[in-house]
Structure 1
Amino acid sequence: MQALRADMFEEICPSSVLPFRIGADKWAGMVLRCLEDGPRRYSELRVPLARISPKMLTQSLRALERDGFVARTAYERRVSYELTALGRSLLEPIRGLCEWAEEHWDELLDARES
C-alpha cells in the first residue's frame, strides 16, 4: 500500500466547498477517501489532512465509527482505522459528488463569494 500524499487534497479543493455533508462534518468524505486503499494509522491520516486540527480529525473518526462507516482497531501500541462495508459503499457516491463539484467549481466559488 502506498503512503498517502501530502498534496492529496489541495488547499482549495472542491471537497471543501461541497454543499453536501457525508457523516457529521465536511471532512468525513476526505477521511473516507484516505481509507480507500486499506487501513491507516492516525499519523498517516494527518499527512493529507494537515488542514484539519487533530481534535477535529478525532471527532470525524469517532463520528464515522459511530455511524458504522469506519472500524477502529486498537493494537498494543497503535490504532488503525479502516472502512467497513458500509463505508466502502460510499466511495462511488463520493466520486460522483467530487466530479459534480469539479464541473460546477466556478459556480460554487461565485456563490460563496456573493
Structure 2
Amino acid sequence: MASWRCRDLRRFASSVSEVPQRSPEDRQPVTRRKEEEIPRATWTLSVLYGKWKLKVLVEMRDRPVRISELQRNVAGATKKMLIDTLHALEADGIVERKEFEAAVRHVEYGIMPSLREPTC
C-alpha cells in the first residue's frame, strides 16, 4: 500500500511541475469589492464574519477601548488575533484608530462616529 501512495505522489508531483507559472506582471492585485457592487446585506455579513469581530464591536459600543482592555474583556482571544481583527475592521471603515502621543504612547480603537447613530 505504501508503494501505491509513493507512485501517486510522484505522478502528482510531476503534474504540478508542468503547470505554467504566471509572472508577477500577469497577476491582478487583490482588492476588496466595493459596497455598491454587491447587496448591502451581503457586504455587511462579509465584513462582520469572523470569530472575534462581533465580540470586539460589542466591547466598543459605548466608548473607545485600548487593546489591553479588549484582551481582558474578550475571553480566549490572543493579542495578535485582536490586533488582526481591529486592522480588518479599520480597513473596512467600521473602526477608527486614534494614536495619543503622551508620556506613554497609546492607541485607542472606537466605532466610527458616522456608524454610531442609526440611519433608519
Q: Under a length normalisation based on structure 2, what TM-score does the superposition of the two structures give?
A: 0.52
The CA deviation at 1:25 is: 1.5
Q: 1:64 aligns with which of 78, 89, 93?
A: 89
Please tell me whether the aligned partners of residues 90 and 97 of structure 2 are also in contact (alpha carbons under 8 angstroms): yes
Aligned pairs (5 A) from 1:5-24: 22-24=47-49
Structure 2 residue runs of 5 or longer lacking an equivalent are 1-44
Aligned pairs (5 A) from 1:45-60: 45-60=70-85
Whole-Å separation in 2 of the counterparts to 1:41 and 1:78: 8
Whole-Å separation in 1 of the counterparts to 2:46 and 2:52: 8
Computing the radius of gyration from Cα coordinates, the structure with the larger value is 2
Structure 1 residue runs of 5 or longer lacking an equivalent are 1-19, 93-114
Please tell me whether the aligned partners of residues 68 and 84 of structure 1 are also in contact (alpha carbons under 8 angstroms): yes
Higher relative contact order (CA 8 A, sep 6+): 1
Superposed CA RMSD: 2.1
The CA deviation at 1:50 is: 3.2
Whole-Å separation in 2 of the counterparts to 1:42 and 1:85: 19
Change (3 A) 1:38 1:30: same
**Could you say what secondary structure the match of 2:69 adopts?**
helix
Whole-Å separation in 1 of the counterparts to 2:114 and 2:52: 18
Q: 2:66 aligns with which of 30, 41, 55?
A: 41
- Number of residue pairs matched? 71
Runs (4+) of structure 1 moved beyond 6 Å?
Answer: none
**Could you say what secondary structure the match of 1:65 adopts?**
helix
Q: Give % identity.
A: 38
